[in-house]
Amino acid sequence: MFEKSTWIRLPRNVVVGHGVRNEVLGVVNDLHLQGRPLFVTSPTPREVAADPIAADFEAAGIEPAIVTIERATFEAVERVIEVAEAEDVSYLVGIGGGKAIDIAKLASHHLDMGFLSVPTAASHDGIVSNRGSVPDGDSRHSVAAEPPLAVVADTGILADAPWELTTAGCADIISNYTAVMDWRLAQRLKDVEYSEYAAALSEMTAEILVDNADLIRPGLEESAWVVTKALMSSGVAMSIAGSSRPASGAEHLFSHQLDRLAPDAALHGHQVGVGSILTAYLHQGGDGIWRDIRDALSSIDAPTTADDLGIGDETVIEALTTCHEIRDRYTILGDGMNERAARDVATKTGVID
Ligand SMILES: NC(=O)C1=CN([C@@H]2O[C@H](COP(=O)(O)OP(=O)(O)OC[C@H]3O[C@@H](n4cnc5c(N)ncnc54)[C@H](O)[C@@H]3O)[C@@H](O)[C@H]2O)C=CC1
Ligand SMILES: O=C(CO)COP(=O)(O)O
Ligand SMILES: [Zn+2]
């Protein structure tokens, strides 16, 4: 008897384009959301987006509560939940980079409320995904949550954001190549649940982005358009899979470990990009696609070496040899690399000198 079943949850409205910041209130009305919102943001996104959006709401007689967070931690999630309860809000709006959106996503899930995702940077593919990523001591949790009810991505704001945030988003997408390699490997060796549709969507998203690399240039609003569509598509792949597997393999373990060893040294997307060069080499050896990944990153100004990341060579080796412990996710790293092997791959790919 066939007894399989699945829930794929996706946003109802996805609004992308120039000036759509002014349409957040319209989206709220379209979704029939009532009551007061709580805006979850961080300092710069507050200035560029949250305060102007709050002014639109105030003009319509709705006074949003606002909380600013600095880091993606479980304490930040708890703080947002406390403010939401104290201010008696009915839904949340995450306005900012990946951290603000993750915190809004996790708090709204706990509160059993809907949330809207308003990215101010095209820096990560959590914009529409159904997961929140939070460090916790020595490990990193990919917490199941709901995707946003709607996404409002203003390409004007995204194009005005610092260029490195956009190149980080590109690198987060390019890393899908190795994430899918790891997923297939884990399916073959460990029988992990696998979705051919989610894997194909994730890979195709990386291919389209690389094919359009010429359009990705600083100051071009069209770049923000191309990258944001890819970030959404990658997030949808995660929602189809019901896991971050289509977009997160060993290159993400490497990045999560760097976050612990060298906090705030580099952006998430840039770290996973360099991780992807390393793990593509581990999967396929010297003749494989590691050079294509490196060249694609380099063509959009994303880092390809430890130096570019501002991270020391020894920290890269430590991350490579320990990051398999960060989460129970089978990848090409298996039960861990020894130091000589780590130094070998990092040197041969030019990630370290
Ligand atoms: N839930 C998911 O599926 C995913 C979650 N993530 C998570 O997202 C985080 C990475 O996201 P990022 O956006 O790289 O980090 P982030 O949220 O820390 O943003 C980077 C910096 O850019 C600033 N910023 C944002 N918009 C700006 C603007 N318009 N102008 C000037 N500054 C601006 C932020 O305030 C912050 O200081 C990580 O915690 C990662 O684990 C990443 C991918 C997927
Ligand atoms: O960053 C992500 C996908 O790009 C989310 O992955 P994690 O599950 O590793 O946090
Ligand atoms: Zn990522």
What count of other Cβ atoms lies within 10 Å of the Cβ of residue 346?
24
Ligand 1, atom 44: closest residue by C-alpha: 126
CATH at residue 327: 1.20.1090.10
- CA-to-CA dists, residue 291 to 279, 281, 294, 295, angstroms: 12, 9, 5, 6
The reply to whether 182 and 310 lie within a common domain is yes
Scanning the structure block, which residue is given the tokens 């006074």?
Answer: 63
Does the residue 7 lie in any domain? no
Same domain for 153 and 296, yes or no, is no
- pLDDT score of 127: 97
Q: Report whether residue 123 contacts ligand 1, using a CB cutoff of 6 Å.
A: yes
Residue 56 domain boundaries: 13-160
Distance between CA 66 and CA 74 in Å, rounded? 18
Task: Look at residue 2 and tell me if it is in a domain.
Answer: no
The reply to whether 190 and 208 lie within a common domain is: yes
Is 120 marked as binding a ligand?
A: yes
Domain assignment present for 5: no
Q: What is the CATH number for 73? A: 3.40.50.1970
pTM above 0.90, yes or no: yes
| pLDDT averaged per 10 residues, the chain (length 353) | 91 97 98 98 98 98 97 95 98 98 96 98 96 87 92 98 98 98 98 98 97 92 96 97 97 97 97 98 97 97 98 98 96 98 98 96
Question: Does 121 carry a binding-site annotation?
Answer: yes
Q: Give the total number of structural domains in the chain.
A: 2
Determine whether the shortest distance from the Cβ of 152 to ligand 1 is under 6 A: no
134 and 26 share one domain: yes
pLDDT at 1: 86
The pair of three-digit structure tokens given for residue 237, joined into one six-digit string: 């792949």
Asked if residue 167 and residue 154 are part of one domain, the reply reads no
Q: Are residues 154 and 215 in the same domain?
A: no
Same domain, 68 and 188: no
User: Binding site annotation covers 199?
Assistant: no
**3 state DSSP class of 42:** coil
CB 148 within 8 A of CB 128: yes
Closest ligand 1 atom to residue 142 Cα is 1
Sign of the torsion formed by the C-alpha atoms of 34, 36, 40 and 41: positive
Residues 298 and 320 in one domain: yes
Which residues partner with 265 through β-bridges?
none
Distance (Å, rounded) from C-alpha 304 to C-alpha 308?
A: 7
Residue 157 and residue 206: Cα distance in Å, rounded? 23
Q: Which residue lies with its CA nearest to atom 2 of ligand 2?
A: 248
Closest CA to 176 of 73, 246, 91: 246
pLDDT at res. 44:
97
Same domain, 75 and 207: no
Report whether residue 126 contacts ligand 1, using a CB cutoff of 6 Å.
Answer: yes
- This complex has an ipTM of 0.98
| Claim to verify: residue 198 and residue 269 sit in the same structural domain | yes
171 and 228 fall within a common domain? yes
Atom of ligand 1 nearest to the CA of 235: 3
To the question of whether residue 32 is assigned a binding role by annotation, the answer is no
Strands 131-136 and 91-96, how do they pair? Answer: unpaired
Joined tokens for residue 196:
């051919």
* Alpha carbon nearest to ligand 1 atom 19, residue: 97
In a domain, 129, yes or no: yes
Mention every residue, 6+ apart, whose C-beta is less than 8 A from residue 157.
Answer: 21, 48, 49, 120
- Same domain for 156 and 192: no
